[in-house]
Amino acid sequence: MNSQKSVVSIHGTGSTHWVGDGFPVRNLFPSNGVGAQMSPFLMLDYAGPKYFEPSDRPRGVEEHPHRGFETVTIAYQGSVDHRDSGGHAGTIAPGDVQWMTAASGVVHEEKHGREFTRQGGVFEMVQLWVNLPRKDKMSEPKYQSITKEQIPVVALGEGAAARVIAGELNGARGPASTFTPMNVWDVKLAAGAKVELPLTEGHNTGLVLLRGGVTLNGGQALTGEAQLALLSQKGDGVAIEATEETILLVLSGEPIDEPVASYGPFVMNTREELQQAVRDYQAGKMGRLS
Ligand code: MN
């Protein structure tokens, strides 16, 4: 590391709401005012941790569309069953990641896993939205089902390890293929662990504390649950010391320097493209669930 990325700002949860009846989320951006500073990332919802009673009927979100970006689901506790108009279906189990490229349009449903629903338990997951550059927004939808076993774990010294979901860390490459350069690392730290993470000069970077406590560059502290630290584009690393057991998502990427127009589940570059997305969805052009 030549120079540390500095901490620009620290943010708590913006909105707290339910997505369907299965996902009680705390939104870490953009509802707290953090928008373009996180590009290429558009949104992060942290669902749970929350206990659900056993049930016969899977809770979740019914059939809905997406266009123009990617949805990334990271399961921590409990599982998600999904199926989409491309004919994909499966279960995202704890430790697994689903990287869905909605691109020109996908219709899908997201429900608690059948077995999890029957048994009840604590549910915890993250859904991250990743923008696509203009040239790829209308490309073919794509789908990456990434299991826990496929995600390399990089030891970062005593009591510290990172799961590399996307990008690269200390020579380990994450399994997710992405359209623009980015890193998504799921970092676990024991109390007292100290790490220096290499980051890229010019990348936007956010550290999402799911729970625990850290000090950054020997100064600013992030404690509790659901906090976001925004780092500067300048600099090529950050020093982190855990003050307690911590789970931290590191999101870092090359900004997509294009206008963003969004409406619900559609993220395009212009208002006209959003209107077209609504028309295409209503006309069934994004497919249907069978
Ligand atoms: Mn969805």
Per-residue pLDDT tens for 64-82?
Answer: 999 999 999 999 999 999 9
Mean pLDDT, the chain, rounded, equals 97
Give pLDDT, residue 1. 77
Taking CA atoms, 7 is separated from 13, 104, 133, 250, in Å, by 18, 36, 27, 14
Confidence of residue 38 (pLDDT cuts 50, 70, 90): very high
Cα-to-centroid distance, 36 and ligand 1 (Å): 22
Cα-to-centroid distance, 90 and ligand 1 (Å): 14
The count of residues in the chain is 290
Give pLDDT, residue 2. 85
User: What's the rounded Cα separation, in Å, for the pair 125 and 179?
Assistant: 23
Confidence of residue 183 (pLDDT cuts 50, 70, 90): very high
Per-residue pLDDT tens for 160-179?
Answer: 999 999 999 999 999 999 99
User: What's the rounded Cα separation, in Å, for the pair 141 and 69?
Assistant: 10
Q: pTM above the 0.85 mark? A: yes
Confidence of residue 85 (pLDDT cuts 50, 70, 90): very high
Identify any residues that bridge with 163 across adjacent strands, giving them in sequence order: 153, 186
Count CA atoms closer than 13 A to 203's CA, side-chain side: 23
Cα-to-centroid distance, 104 and ligand 1 (Å): 14
User: What's the rounded Cα separation, in Å, for the pair 153 and 85?
Assistant: 33
CB 239 within 8 A of CB 231: no
Q: Determine the average pLDDT of the residues in 48-57.
A: 97
Cα-to-centroid distance, 19 and ligand 1 (Å): 9
Tokens of 102: 């909605």
Cα-to-centroid distance, 121 and ligand 1 (Å): 22
Per-residue pLDDT tens for 203-253?
Answer: 999 999 999 999 999 999 999 999 999 999 999 999 999 999 999 999 999
Cα-to-centroid distance, 211 and ligand 1 (Å): 25
Cα-to-centroid distance, 109 and ligand 1 (Å): 7
Cα-to-centroid distance, 95 and ligand 1 (Å): 19
User: What's the rounded Cα separation, in Å, for the pair 146 and 31?
Assistant: 28
Give pLDDT, residue 83. 95
Cα-to-centroid distance, 122 and ligand 1 (Å): 21
Cα-to-centroid distance, 234 and ligand 1 (Å): 33
Identify the DSSP state of 34. -
Give pLDDT, residue 80. 97
Q: Is the peptide bond before 198 cis (omega within 30 degrees of 0)?
A: no
Cα-to-centroid distance, 81 and ligand 1 (Å): 12
User: What's the rounded Cα separation, in Å, for the pair 192 and 202?
Assistant: 30
CB 98 within 8 A of CB 72: yes
Give pLDDT, residue 20. 95
Amino acid identity of residue 118, one-letter, is R
Give pLDDT, residue 290. 78
Q: Return phi, psi of residue 273, to 5°.
A: -65, -30
Q: For residue 98, which of 84, 117, 114 has the smallest C-alpha distance?
A: 84
CB 122 within 8 A of CB 51: yes
